[in-house]
């Protein structure tokens, strides 16, 4: 399903048309809010995990991470097959204020944004004394919604159940705009149903092969219930 198809289906469910530029622009904004909140429901959704590589150069300390990097998971230096730690800048200030040690990289210090490339930059520590291959796993950022994604297959970024969560959340918001609180509530319940499916899949991928059914369906019901929709205000919370 493409982004354009998702928005069209959501609008049609509410009796609206995607030919309206106002509805289209609002759809982008609503989807940005919803995707951010859904991403926040788990710190490590399985479909967000990606791998990147840093190839060091002797005496060079600054390296850009992947352009879609959002949060780190783990890293490994394949030069010596040892774990590499992600560290805050404060750790470096305490461990080596002069930042003078050289050798095999054991830590990556999150340094901030590279203003030239708009990507997250890290400091390699110790300063590498040779060419080294560091692989790191991370959670990718969900893309900002806009016309550039209209024809993009959303499977590139998320599975079907997550796409359904976006779809039903969007239709719930538009139902609320129309003042149809019953319709908004129905759509939000469908969103929650798909979110429960997502938690069940996540649980099994993480090693729990015995899904535990709750009162409304799949595992992690309490986490699902925390994601709420106030139909009176037409907003997610």
Is 136 part of a structural domain of the chain? no
**219/164: higher pLDDT:** 164
Is residue 4 over pLDDT 70? yes
Is 52 part of a structural domain of the chain? no
Is 137 part of a structural domain of the chain? no
Among candidate residues 179, 192, 182, 172, the one with its CA nearest the CA of residue 235:
172
Do 37 and 152 lie in one domain? The reply is yes
Q: Which domain holds residue 217?
A: 3-46+143-236
Confidence of residue 189 (pLDDT cuts 50, 70, 90): very high
Q: What is residue 149's predicted lDDT score, i.e. its pLDDT?
A: 86
Of 131, 164, 197, the position where a domain reaches its end is 131
DSSP tag of 151: T
Among candidate residues 172, 139, 177, the one with its CA nearest the CA of residue 31:
172
Q: What is residue 204's predicted lDDT score, i.e. its pLDDT?
A: 87
Do 150 and 220 lie in one domain? The reply is yes
Do 96 and 213 lie in one domain? The reply is no
Do 33 and 118 lie in one domain? The reply is no
d(C-alpha 48, C-alpha 115), whole Å: 25
Do 173 and 192 lie in one domain? The reply is yes
Is the dihedral angle over the CA atoms 171, 172, 178, 182 positive or is it negative? positive
Of 87, 105, 131, the position where a domain reaches its end is 131
Q: What is residue 233's predicted lDDT score, i.e. its pLDDT?
A: 45
pLDDT in tens, 36-92: 888 887 777 899 999 999 999 999 999 999 999 999 999 999 999 999 999 999 999
Among candidate residues 113, 83, 87, 115, the one with its CA nearest the CA of residue 99:
87
Q: Where are the beta strands (DSSP E) in the chain?
A: 49-55, 62-64, 69-77, 82-87, 102-103, 107-114, 119-125, 127-128, 133-140, 229-230, 235-236
Q: How far apart are the first and last CA of the chain?
A: 26
Among candidate residues 106, 79, 104, 75, the one with its CA nearest the CA of residue 91:
106
pLDDT in tens, 5-41: 999 999 999 999 888 889 999 999 999 999 988 888 7
Do 126 and 159 lie in one domain? The reply is no
Do 159 and 180 lie in one domain? The reply is yes
Is 10 part of a structural domain of the chain? yes
Question: In this structure, what are the phi and psi dihedrals at residue 199, rounded to the nearest 5 degrees?
Answer: -65, -35
Domain count, the chain: 2
pLDDT in tens, 131-187: 999 999 999 998 989 888 899 999 999 999 999 999 999 999 999 999 999 999 999
Token pair listed for 152: 């993009």
d(C-alpha 146, C-alpha 29), whole Å: 9
């Amino acid at each position: 399903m493409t982004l354009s198809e998702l928005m069209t289906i959501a609008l049609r469910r509410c009796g609206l048309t995607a030919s309206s530029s106002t509805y289209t622009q609002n759809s982008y904004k609503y989807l940005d809010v919803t995707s951010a909140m859904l991403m926040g429901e788990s710190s490590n959704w399985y479909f967000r995990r990606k791998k990147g590589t840093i190839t060091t150069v002797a005496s060079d300390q600054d390296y850009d991470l992947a352009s879609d990097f959002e949060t780190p998971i783990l890293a490994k230096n394949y030069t010596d097959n040892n774990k590499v730690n992600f560290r805050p800048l404060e750790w470096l200030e305490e461990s080596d204020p002069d930042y003078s040690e050289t050798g095999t990289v054991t830590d990556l210090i999150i340094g901030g944004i590279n203003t030239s490339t708009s990507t997250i930059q890290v400091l390699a520590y110790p300063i590498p004394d040779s060419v080294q291959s560091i692989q790191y796993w991370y959670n990718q950022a969900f893309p900002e919604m806009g016309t550039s994604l209209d024809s993009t297959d959303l499977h590139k970024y998320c599975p079907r159940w997550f796409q359904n969560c976006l779809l039903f959340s969007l239709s719930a918001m538009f139902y609320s705009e129309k003042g149809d609180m019953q319709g908004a509530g129905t759509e939000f319940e469908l969103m929650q149903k798909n979110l429960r499916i997502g938690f069940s899949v996540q649980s099994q991928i993480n090693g729990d092969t015995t899904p535990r059914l709750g009162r409304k369906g799949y595992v992690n019901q309490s986490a699902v219930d925390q994601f709420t929709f106030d139909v009176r205000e037409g907003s997610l919370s």
